[in-house]
Amino acid sequence: MTGRDLAALRGLAGLARLVLDSELVALRRRQEALARTQARLADLATAVERQAAIVAQDLEAPVAGPVHARWGAWVEVRRIELNRQLAVERAEAEAARQAARDAFGRAEALRGMLEAETKAARKAALERARRRGG
């Protein structure tokens, strides 16, 4: 491999590391979005439990009943929306995870090639120096 080829390989390895870093950032963002949506869904479940406890203790059930029913309908719609969003975010997170795996594989393959070629180039340079000197 020529010095030019080795320099090109170094450049490719550097680009592969940049792509890997970018994919890892994208993966982290997707995972954070997924965690936020899961937290919102958990908060909604907690609110439902609290509301049920309040309704169970409410003495004015004839008045509170319709309000609770409307709120329950809103909660169900919100739960459906959050579950849909969660499914989309899970799919996006999995795609980002796969892209990061691919980028890691490329970066590691190029790093290994660069390491092997650098070692071979050093060995060849030492051989040439020995021949000249000895």
Give the global pTM.
0.78
What confidence tens digit (pLDDT) does each residue in 80-89 have? 999 999 999 9
Residues 65-118: tens digit of each pLDDT: 777 788 889 999 999 999 999 999 999 999 999 999 999 999 999 999 999 999
Cα 34 to Cα 26, 27, 71, 73, 86: the distances in Å are 12, 11, 25, 24, 6
CB 107 within 8 A of CB 19: yes
Distance between CA atoms of residues 62 and 56, nearest Å: 12
Q: What local confidence, expressed as pLDDT, does residue 53 receive?
A: 78
Question: Top-level CATH class of 3-133?
Answer: mainly alpha
Local confidence band at 24 (pLDDT 50, 70, 90 cut-offs): very high
The model's pLDDT over 27-68, given as tens digits with 9 standing for 90+, comes to 999 999 999 999 999 999 999 888 877 777 765 666 677 777
